[in-house]
Structure 1
Amino acid sequence: MFAWRRTAVRRRVVVNLADKAFTGILWAKRGPLLVLRDAELLEAGRPAQPVDGEVVIERSKVEFTQVLASGGA
């Protein structure tokens, strides 16, 4: 059912929310949460902003997730 998350863990992803997105390494999935490391905030019309620490996102807020090709950023 959630095989994409197993294959995406420890890979670089883009997590798209309604008004912004984050790119980073999908480090863990903990219940209703996704944890990204080495993350950047992506907003329309602005340069990518590095984020310190981990980003924790509620899965219910996620519109869709893209798994990037290896080496992609």
Structure 2
Amino acid sequence: MRKRVVVNLADQAFRGILWAQRGPLLVLRDAELLEAGRPAQPVDGEIVVERSKVEFTQVLAGGGG
């Protein structure tokens, strides 16, 4: 793990460090909420996303954490 990624959902995305995969869940740390037309918003704590809700994931260049 520990790669910098963008996790794309239907209506928003999160950019952060993919910290863990726990069964059907992805855990992101040092994350930002990305929404169309708005600046990136830092998110406190961890983001837990259900893998079934993920449309696609992008691994960013130089993505080590």
TM-score using structure 1 length: 0.85
Q: Distance in 2 between matches of 1:10 and 1:70?
A: 11
Measured after TM superposition, the shift of residue 10 of structure 1 is 0.2
Aligned residues: 63
Bigger Cα Rg: 1
The structure richer in strand per residue is 2
Seq. identity, %: 87
What corresponds to 1:18 in structure 2? 10
- 1:31 corresponds to 2:23: yes
Distance in 1 between the 2:49 and 2:32 partners? 13
Give me the whole-angstrom Cα distance separating, in 2, the residues matched to 1:31 and 1:52: 23
Aligned partners of 1:48, 1:69: CA distance in 2, in Å? 19
Determine the structure 2 residue equivalent to 1:58. Answer: 50
Return the structure number with greater helix share.
1
Which structure has more RCO (C-alpha within 8 Å, separation ≥ 6)? 2
Structure-2 residue corresponding to 1:70: 62
Q: 1:60 Cα shift?
A: 0.3
Cα RMSD for the two superposed structures: 0.7
Using structure 2 for the length normalisation, give the TM-score. 0.95
Question: Deviation per CA, 1:46-69, whole angstroms, max 9, x where unpaired?
Answer: 000000000000000000000001
4+ residue runs over 6 A deviation: none
Task: Show structure 2 runs of 5+ residues with no match.
Answer: none
Matched residue, 2:37: 45
